[in-house]
Structures are given as C-alpha cells and as structure tokens.
Structure 1
Amino acid sequence: MKTKRCASCQKLSRADAFTCSRCGQSFAEKTSSSPTRSSATSARSKGNAVEEKAALRTRRRTIPPASPHRAGHYSGLHPEDQPYQSTMLAVQRPPENQAHPPVQKEPAIEYLPAAPDPLPDDAALSSWSTAASRPTEVQTQVHGRPAPEADMHPLNDRMKAWLRQSGSPFWHGRYVPAVLTISCLIFLVASSLLAYVLINKRPAPNTQVLSAIPNQLRVNDTFSLVGKGFGVNDLITFTHDQNNAAILDGSGKPLQAHANDIGTFSVQIMVPTNWEVGQHTIHAIDIGKDQTLSVVAIITVEQSSLAPPQLHLSSSKIDFGASPPGVVSKKDVILENAGGRQVVWQAGSDQPWLAISPNSGTFAGRAITEVTVNSGALAPQPYTGHITFIQQGTQPITLTVTLVVKSAPPGLAIAPVSLTYSGTTQQNPADQVITLQNTSGQTLDWSSSVVTGDGAAWLSINPTNDHLAAHSSETITASVRSQQLAIGSYQGTINFKGSTNPSVTVALSVTASGNLVASKSSLSFASAGQNPAAQTVTIQNRGVGPLDWWVTTYTVDGANWLNAAPASGHLEMNQAANVAISINVATLTSQTYHGTVTFTYGVRGQTVQIPVSLSVSTPTAPIPTAPTISLDLGVLNFSTPLGANPSPQSFMMRNIGNATLNWVITEDQNGATFAPVSPTSGSLAPAQSTIITVTPTVAQASVGTLTTNITIADSDAGSRVAKQRIKVNIVVKG
C-alpha cells in the first residue's frame, strides 16, 4: 500500500489522504527547505494555494474512500493499513493574516498523578463543543495551513486535566460493548435459573384439612364438618361417596358454605335415612378463583339397635388449665348412645362462668356439644364447675370442669360467653343481650366482628363498637334471622377486641313451624308362625307451631304385611301421639322382609322415615298358652326445681304371650301419693300393648330424692305370670 509521511508530525498516512489525521497538516501544501523565498516564488505559491483551496472546496471525499489496492489484497496485515484514528480531534483555523509558523512535532502526553482540578467553566465547554461538532467544516478551513499544537487544541490546561480525569483511557469507546456483554450474561443466568425452576417444579402439598366430628354415627345423627386451609371467601360445595351425589340441606337444596377470612368453615350435616351402614366419603369442593380443589373426610354409619338408649360421655372431666381473666376457652364433648333407638337429652351448668351449647337434643349414635368457660369476671384462683346431663328414663351424668384463673392486666370482660337460639323458617327468635364490662382503671375502646360457619349474614350485633369508661359496663343486642335459612343447625362466633379479646359462641337451630320427632329410628320384628306383637312409635311436635301429620307404609316385596294406625293426626306444640306398627304374616313364607314407615308433616312435606325388618321362620315347638308381661323401660328419672312438678313420662307394657292378660299396678310405700300412674289396671289380648303414664306431684315436697317401685302383675287368682317392676326416681332441687 502506498503511504506518505506528514512533514510536521512524521505520521504515516495513506497516499490519497488530504490532511494528517494527527496534526491536521494539509498534504497539498509544500514547504520550502529554504527559510527565505523570492517574492515571485511567494506570490506563485500563494496563487497555487488559493487555487488548491478552491478545488478542495468543490471536491467531495468518498466515504469510505476507494481502496487503492489490487484485487486479492487483504487489509489489516500491516500497521499502515489502519491509518485512521478512532477518535475525532477538534481543529481550529488560525486567523487569515497570521503568518505560518514552522510546524512542531506533537509532544508526548504524560499522565501524572495530581489533585483533580475543578470542572471547566461554561465558556470553555461551549467553545469545545462547538469546535467538535463541525469536523467537515474545520477540515476544509485548515487546508493548506499548518496548525501548531496550541492552535489545534484550543482547550486550556484545566480542560485537558479534566478530560484526563473524566475516565480511564481503557474504557474510551468500550462502554456500549461492555454493557451489552454484561446484559447478555445476566440474561443467560436468569434464563437458566427460570428454566431450572420450571422443569424441577413440584406441586405444593395440600394444606387443606377436613374433619368430621364425630365420625361414627347412625342414621338421623348430625355431625360437624370443619374445614381449614381453604381459599379465603371461596364457595364450598359438598358431595358424598363415589357417585359424587350432592349433600342436601334441610330444605332439600345442595348444601353450600363460604370460607371466612382465614380460610375456615363449619357446617352441620344430618345423616340421611337412605345411607347404608358402613363407611361414607364426604367431599368438600373448593371452587376457587384459579383452581378447584377437593378434600375428603370419612365417616362411618353404624347399625341401629333395638336396645334401650343409654347416654355416655366421651370424658367425665375436662381441665381448661390456667388462663388470665377475660379469656374464653372452648372444648368439644362427644355424646354417645351405648344402646339403641334415640337418646333424648338435656344439660345444665351450676356455674355462671360455665356454659354448654347446644344444651339439649336428640341423637341415635353420637352427637357433639361444646363446653365454654369464660374467665372474664373471675378472680385469680382455681374454679370447679359441673354440667349435668339428663336422659329420660336414666340416671343423670355429671361432667366436671376445672379452671385456674391467674392474675393478668384488667381489660374487657363479657357475659354470657355463649348464646343459644331456636327459630323457624317463618319466625325469627327473640334477641338476646351481652354485657361488656371494662375492668381496668383506664378508658377502653372496643370493636367487634361476627363470623358464621356457613358464611351467611344471619348473625348481627348492635352496636358493633363503642367507648367504655374505666370500671363501667354496657349491654349490646345480638340478633339472628332464621327466616332466611334452611332447616338445620348453625354455628357462629362474636369476636371482641379491646385490651383482651374475648368471644361469644352462638348456636342456632332452625326448624319448621312444626317439627316432628319420632321415638324410634328403626323397627325389627320376628315371627315363628304367628303375628308378632305390635310396636309403638311415639311422635312429638317439638316445633313452635301446630302441625298435621300422616303415615304411610312401604314394603320391598309389595305385599301388604306392614300396617300403621292411626293413619293421620294433628299435634299442637310439644304434644305427642302414639302410632302402632303391626305385622300380618298370614301370607308370608320363611324369609326376611324389609319395609319403611314414613311420617309426613308440615306444609313443605317434611318426612321422618323408620326402616322395618321382619324375619319369618317356621315354628319348631308348640306355643304355650299363657300371657307374658313385657316393659320397654326399667327405670324412670325425674328432675325438677323446688316448688314445681316435672313433666310426665310414659312407658309401654305389652302382652307377648298367647293368652289374655288381666293386669293391675301397685306401688310400694306411699309412691301413689307423689308418683301416681294412669291407668292402674286393664286387660290385654295377645300381642297387644298399652301406654302407662307417671305424673309426679311433688310441688309441695322438700329438696331431696323420692323413690318408689311400680309393680305390674297378673290379677287372675293363682296366676303364675311373672311380675315386672319399674323404678321411679324424682330429684327435687333447691
């Protein structure tokens, strides 16, 4: 490649270059070796310079310039192949009338450590920026004039020092590539991490928990289904078993619930009569905003028994431990039926700080109730309370509850700690009152919130917040709306905030205006060639209004062997009636038969179903001709406060023999004076039964327990029929 050297700075440049890329010297201008020239020569040189300058003004460079090399030449092999600098230098044209001093070689720049100078002033920066922004014009103006270093670099020493300190020479021109390289590296690392996370992602373990309490039940029992860890405010639906059939509420619609603000819910479910004995799977389906989850709980439906009902408690003692005043604690107690049929129970507490909810009910297998203690108004010391469970016809059962109250800063105390409501689909129950007390010596601001197990807004209080002066109290009103709910049981909680955070549990039972309850959940008959004795089912209206009822029978084989009498009736509130269920085996062969007795009541047609089984066998021995007395109970227990009479109770007597029974009742001591019975005598044909009622009259009796024995015997002379006895206990409380 052809090159030429600058006469001023000795810089090698391409042969077609017009100016030196280092000092700006024009190659068109030829300097003389002699320091003095003639005037003619000078004039001629000036004329040539003017012509060349004009030619340069009209002449345009090609960018990039055409290569002077032949084909096949590879540039970059020699240093002179790269003659251009990568940076642009500012050049200033000297005045027109200034003589051209001899060109001096550019001295080398040495960088020495020095204290940083202040930034250049605005005028210097402005002049430098202007000069650097017009490179083409400057090159045209300096053509033919050697520019000394002082003229080519108008920046003063302060500017040069500032430029040297503004950045390392190594990074000049390398900022953009460096940033791009670093960005690419960061992108690659982030992409790798994201790919690793996505490829190796594992589904998070389910945190939802579904519990059925109790989980061993019988037909018509009610259990609590409690869920935790579900989606906040999500809709929860319920199905059961492999066919995913919907679980229905009391009105026959699919049961639904809403999770609260912490993802929990609680609903009450009754075991339908069409569920078979064995395990059943309950599915709680969380219909969330992003996905749908299904959580499973398992319950076991047990076989009903014909044995007399017998109430048992899961525990005879509950210890709540130590807690400061103002703390409300709750624990569940499971009630069990160790016998058959249905247990009718009620319970009461002997301490104001101790409560139970619900405090009464009916169940066949198991039921759950909640014991609550409130230490809000108690002094620091140990406490013991008792809850007495009473079952009709058996001895009372006592549950002992212990609590230790320790010293704590005073705050907000409430009473009572639990509320129980009973309403219908047509009428809301009456409001109840909660008392709030500020036991501290300072003013107190309190607030409240209401949570219901199903998420519906059936529970409210007024007011919801207030200001309490020191050692003062106020009352608030708690209201429930049962008219907007389906038939069933509901749970809620009223939470208070104010120094301490007590709470009040709320239990609501919604029934129809009339609610029919049957005394038996199933019936079983056996026959050995003759009709078995009829059995009696007692139905009672436990609603808040009258109802009309009727009964129908159904047999699986279609034969007319199952009968019920009477077929219909009317019941006022708390009124009861007896329905006789009889069997006719005249046309039946030796095998097992099944049927159903259905009681229908109310304007909505609610039903109570009782399954019936019949076993028919061939007699193997002669049947004796003698009457036999049979009683369905062995003891009757009454409890009443001083000055009042308890409600009457009844038992059934049957003649299970094959001869007419003439019977009579006697009572030992003076039992007839405080526990009279009716009727006291009568006659029963084979397979017939009668109801005997005991009506205590103890309003004038003192506190204590009265006991007597009722004896039923055959009144025929010389009879060998075995006598039957039933014991009566009456407790009068002070």
Structure 2
Amino acid sequence: MRWLFVGLTIAALVLIGLNGWLIRSRFSSVHQPALSAAQPPFLTATPALVQAGQSVHLHLDHFRAFAQVYFSYDVGEALAPVGMAPVVQLGAQGSADVTVTIGRDWSPGDHTIQAEDIATHYTASTTIQVVAGGPLRPPVLQVSRSSLDLGTGVQGLNSIAPLWLSNGGDGSLSWTASTDQPWLLTTPAQGVLSERQAILIAGSRANLRPGVYRGTVTLSSDSGTSLHILVTMRVVAASASDTERQAPPLTAIPAALAFSLTDGGPAPPAQFVTLTNPGQAAMTWSSRIVVPPEGRQQAPLAVGADWLQLKPAQGKLAAGESLSVEITAQGRHLLPGLYLAVIQLNSSYAAASTTTQVLAASLTVLPSCRLSPSAQSLTFTIGPGQEIGESQQLLELGLAPGCASGLNWQAFTSASWLKVDPTSGRVDPTHGMSVRVSIAVNELNAGTYSGFILFSMQQRTQTVAVLLNLRTSGVPQSATSGSTTTAVADTPGRTPLGAVLSPGSLSFTVEQGGGPPASRSVLLSATQHPLQWSVTLNTVATPWLNVTPLSGMLAVGQTTRLSVAVNPAGLAPGGYSGQFTVSLEPADGAPASPSQLAQVVTVTLTVLAPCVLEVTPSGLSFTSSLLQPNPPPQTLSLHIDGGCPRPVAWAAAVDSDSTSWLHVSQTSGSDSGSGTTIAVYVTPPRLLLKTLRGQITITASDGGQNPLQSSPQVVTVTVSPG
C-alpha cells in the first residue's frame, strides 16, 4: 500500500506539471515576450476576441508575492475563474494563470476585466471584445417597483425602504436620483450599473404634522429614460398613553447620508447629523450600525459596517437639547462597489421603553481613474523589411467616464519590435491625445507575434493587445481589430477593400449652457486598395453634429483623420443620437461587395442639466440668555440640483468680523448628490447687550471646476439677547 500511495503521488505531480506545460504552450505558435522585472503589475487576456460560452486565459504578473487578487469585470461584477472563487491567492512570484468562462449573459461589445490587489489596491485591467450575431441592445434603466409605501409612524420617526435598479439592456449606464419633497431622500443619489443595484429610500417625519404625505423619486439615466416612483408616507401623533409607555423618538436630521471616495484614496469629508430630544425629560441614547440584506447581496466581498463611525456613539440629552454627531466613512480597505448601512439610534428615558430611530447611509467606492483608448487591440499584417513609417497606427487616448481630473501615464511595450511614441504624457478631461504605435520588422523572421502595450498610471495599469502577422511577401497591410472594418472573406468577383474606420462610435457629454466639448477623431485607413471616400451627414436631423473634412483620396497605406465635433447650443437636457456615413469607392476599379462601400459611425450626445446650489434656510436666528449663553446649534442644508459632473465641491466661509462668535462644523467638502448638512454654532459673550449679525458665504463648483448657478449663497445669522 505504501508503494501504491507513493506511485499515485508521483503520478499526480506529473499531471500537475503537464497541465502547467499545456497552459504555457496553449499559444506556443505565437511569439510572446515578457516584460522585465522592473515593470509594474499587468493583466493580459487571450484571446481578446471571443464569443459567449468561450474560455479566456488570463495571465497576471509582477504583483506582490502571495498577494490576494480580486477578479471583476465591467462595473464591479465579481468574476470567478474556473474552479476558484473571485479572490485568488498568488504565489511567491506574484503571478498566476487562470481561465474564465465568458457567460451567455455577457453582452456583445467591449468588457473590461480587472485584477485588484486587495491590500494595496493596485489594479491591472485588460479589455476583451465579445462578438455575437444579434444587435447590441441599448442600456435601459428599470426599477423593481413603480410605487413605494414607507408606512405609518409617529412624528419625528424616520422610515427606510430599499429600491432595486437594473439594466434591461447591454453595456452599462449612469443614473441620478432626485426628489420633489424635502422629507424624501435617497442614498446614494447617483451611480453606475451594468446589471442591478439597490439604493435606500428614506422618509423623515421630523417637523411634519399628522397626515398623509406623497412625493416622487425621479430616476434619470444617460440612456435617455426617466422613471418616476410614487412614495407615500403617513404621520400620526403619539397619544398621551403611548408617551407614558414609550419615549418619543430621538429626532435625527437628515435621514440619509451618502459618502463617496476613490479606490485606495483618502476618506471623504465628515458629515453631521443633528440629534434632538423632543421629550420633557432627559434621554439616554446609543447607536448600532447594521448592514441591510440588500447591502450584503451587492457588496464585492463579505464585509460588515465597520466603514462607518459615529462620534459620539452614545450619550445623554436633556429635554429639548440638541447635539451634532460627526459621522465619518473609512473605505480604504474596501474594493470598488456600493456599500449600504442603517444606523439604529436607540433612546429611552425614565421607565419608558426604548424607541429606535433609523438613518440610511451609503458609501460608493469609485474605481480609480483610467484611460479610454480608441481601440482595445491592434493588428498589423505587413511584409518583411517594411519601413517603420509605413507600419504604424494612431491610438487615441481619452479618460474613462467619471474621471474628474487629468491623468499622467507612462507606456511600456512587451516586445522590442513594438514601439510607442510618446512613451508618457497627460490626458485631461477636456481633451485627449494621440500616441503613434509602430512596428520594427527589419530583424524579424516570418511568423505571428503577439505583444501588448502597458499603460501605467498611479496604482493602475491597463493593456492593449497587439498582434503582428509578418509575411514573407505581399502588399503591406494593417488593420485594427475592435474597429469598423471592411475586410471580409473573399467571394467570387469580390475583393475585400481592407478599409479600417476606427472607432465605430463616439460619445460626448456636456453641461447645458457650457461650451462645446473637444472634438474627437475617427481614423480612416486604406490598407489594400486606394480609396476615394466621402462623408454623408444629415444636418437637418442632427444640426448639432459636424464632421470635417467631407471627402478625399487615400493611397494604399495612408490614413486620414476625420474630426467629429458637436455643438450643444440651444439643446435641452437629454440624450441625442446621430450618425454619419462614410462612402468608399476603390480608386483602382477593384470590385467590392455593396456592403463594403458604406460604413456608419454612431455619435451620441448627452446634455446635462446645469447644477444649481440651494441653501436652506437663508437665515438663522439664535437667542442667548444668562441661563443659556450658548444656544443649541442649528443646521444649514445644501442641495445640488442638476446633472453636472460630480462630486460638487463646496466651501463655507464666515465673514471676518464674526469669526470670534460664529462657527460652522465644516468649512469645505464634496457632495455627490445626496445633500450636505452643516451645523452652525454661536458663542456670543456671556452678557450680550445687543444683537450680533454675521454672514456665512457658501460657494460651489462642479467636477469640472465650473462655478454652479446661484453660487455664492449668503446666509444671514443673528444672535439676540434673551
């Protein structure tokens, strides 16, 4: 038996080694050089062009030794390699080879796959393209219900209910939420989803009289759809007998909070909730934070609510006393995604039973900013000895949606025959830049070579795959995969044109009233035949769209740049779609299929409503007496309405003559759409003989650093002797 066990063990080790050799030799016919040890972590996918149900080989390298890496795709969707969980433990070399299966639910088009070191948050990403026979469905925002009942509660008591959002189409969509009533709040108030996501709806009964209240939550998306959810809430007065048995609820304003931070970045600014004891006796209170079921279902990993803290977390309030509680979110240990929590505030006094007040909170951990290249992979098919100047392509670099500031990058290549110029630069939100990708073939033998360009940014890398088909003879050709191309299989009497139009679609986003965004480029290349081309544009249907030049001639190997610009002047907020057609004619008279003679580029324009700063109330009045020289703090509510780039940065400043007695809980911060509460304190002289008057000036600017409409806002503060 002992020898049998030894023999089986040796056989198992041999099989494991054979399996690893098979993985490494899976693409042995392709020359695949590796990066040097000094270069940053990276992720590659082979093949990059797949169909649903197909397997993809992922290779990670240059990560930390024994790092735990989390795999995901698109907008934070977990991706489990075959036979593994989404979290994979790497070995001593900081590398791994895994296989993932592309599910039938993966929509046609580009999908980004990420591998993130859980400890350091270093993220490597690559993009694959899923091809399918059917058309790509546009993203459509859907909700789990069209009406919501927050139930019945006594005055001052908050209510919370979940609402599920989903995407009924392909790709991903951005959404924003707004309400038409001050007592109705959502958290978060904006986001991005590819499949489904839960948010929390909160209703505050503070300062409301008994009765039935109705409000509407409006959900808007960049897909052009808006949904309306009718919310009903009932308020009742507590009876005298109820008050004797149970403490009145601790009033907590606001009823919902939303935090956001960038993956691995610093904590967001603290927010404040004002607690008030509405009873006639002293009250003790304590807090507890729980994760709702919806939060556990959508969090990337199993986490608790330790990201949320209250200061103080418990205490005692005299009758009528108010307290400002600081609430902070620490998400440096969290992965990108949406995290939900419910704060339970338990209060009691004397012999009365405990009453529980609730607050809704969310934390959105945003992916770090990344580049958005015009093509996710490049293919070159050229003859040996071809000059570098004739074997090159332009790659346009922009920023992915959600990037609020510019991004510095550096480029590496995995092969000596692959060149990038320039090798570093900076891309700003308002305009992109071009890099030239070229091939040096003088010292290469005929064959197929694979490589990639590695773009390195702060705490992030992403790869663009490059495939080189080197022929012993023939006409130099080049083509770009992932683009609109006319290279199709030969048919009798029909010659492939080999024209490449890249990219096949463009999208622009602009705020209403703002200037036109920077123009984008579409590249047209002639790789097999000289081409005469022209652009057809319906200026009546899409007067906001412009393309230049409109016609021209290309020799074999030449590339021209079409400049695509949009003018949002006079357009109402919403989504607009247009297209232009590029007609092609072989200048050498070569026959071609009719389907090759026209290529269509789709252009979408999203016009966002301008943001308006709203500050309530416009004035605060305090009374100071000998018995209470420092009256309880009061609150200001900041609300940002509109669709401008988020988060919105705001600042609050006290006039120089009032800084000795007028104070605010925070002087600056950011708002992602859920609103901000600022506590205002006054510390007048103990013997106040005359009324003090001061001002708080609040300014705000959007993610593009443009001042908001109605900014600044001035709040007048007075303190009168009592």
Bin the TM-score by the shorter chain.
0.3 to 0.5
**Which is strand-richer, 1 or 2?**
2
Q: TM-score, normalised by structure 1?
A: 0.46
Q: TM-score, normalised by structure 2?
A: 0.47
**Which is helix-richer, 1 or 2?**
1
Higher relative CO (CA 8 A, sep ≥ 6), structure 1 or 2? 2
Larger radius of gyration: 1
